[in-house]
Amino acid sequence: MNRIAVIGLGTLGGAVCKNIATMDAIEELVIIDYDIIESKNIHNSVYHVSQIGDAKVDALTELIENDINIIPIQEKYKEGKTKLPNCDLILDCRDVVCNRGNEIDVRLYITEKILIIDCRKNIRTQHNYKGAYRNELSKSELNKAGFFASQIICSNQITEMQRKQSVQKIDLNILPSIIDQAMKKNDKDRVDIIYDSDIGDKLHCLEENIEPILKLSKSKDIDVFIGERNSDPFKKIQKIPQFSKTKYACIPHSSLKNSNDLIKTLLNIVKEQGNIVNFLVTLRNMNGEIFIELLEETGAA
């Protein structure tokens, strides 16, 4: 979608426009509103105190700094009567609930801190009325609503919603909820590693292999190869740390109690390998034989 029209530039409409204007695909934004900015509009909108008394279409044009073409239309929108340029999508962000025919593609509004994205056509109401936010909305919440709306509108999701003429609800508290869940999952899955400079400098891709290696160690000895497994004959070392400057070592069965045991063991091995500094840690399975391979990290792609 390259050209989008937004009707109603109040609290939600202004936030939607500012976020849509940041999307790379948008080349032209048509903004429609007849109203001017009042002092009551400032505390929870995108507008500034210095813009009180200005037309909303002019104030919003001034606020949008992105390099897109803006077409302001300062008049009260009436479907079928207000002349609009051809647009890929027409959004209705007015706080007035009224009948809708086929011109408006999507109606956006907020109720109980829930963003509603209504893609239905030919909606009839018993009477037109002016909506109001039951709960006071902060600028942060309105900006969040504008962000969510812009992400959906500028994606293939909106096309599918239009095809189904569906209504979607997005909780404005969803982002903190997602972050909270991710943090809890991270805490649950986190491997207890003590990071220091040696680990970062010498062992790469280690964390993803720690749990599988610890699990394997409970059931068998684990061979550790410096370099590729099948490149040279290797001398088998049965006891750690008797692996100085060799290409083959063995971590005895059940010798690893936790992640720090594994880290110390691998660091002891790589520190004995002369001038080779960085290693990629991989757990390989070759013909049913599972082993650790420490490959020199050369920096090549």
Residue of higher predicted confidence among 299 and 152: 152
pLDDT mean over 38-56: 90
pLDDT tens-digit readout, 250-282: 888 888 888 888 888 888 887 776 665 677 888
Give me the helices (H) in the chain, please: 11-20, 56-63, 139-153, 156-164, 174-189, 197-202, 207-217, 259-271
Report, at the CATH architecture level, how domain 3-180 is classified.
Answer: 3-Layer(aba) Sandwich (3.40)
Residue 33 confidence class, pLDDT cut points 50, 70, 90: very high
Question: Both tokens of residue 46?
Answer: 């995108």
Contacts of 132 (CB under 8 A, 6+ apart): 95
Coil, helix or strand at residue 272? coil
Residues 6 or more apart from 3 whose CB is under 8 A from it?
Answer: 26, 27, 28, 29, 30, 85, 86, 87, 88
Tell whether the model's pLDDT for residue 39 goes beyond 70.
Answer: yes
Domain residue limits, the chain: 3-180, 197-296
pLDDT 10s digits, 129-183: 565 554 567 888 888 899 989 989 888 889 989 999 989 888 887 766 666 666 6
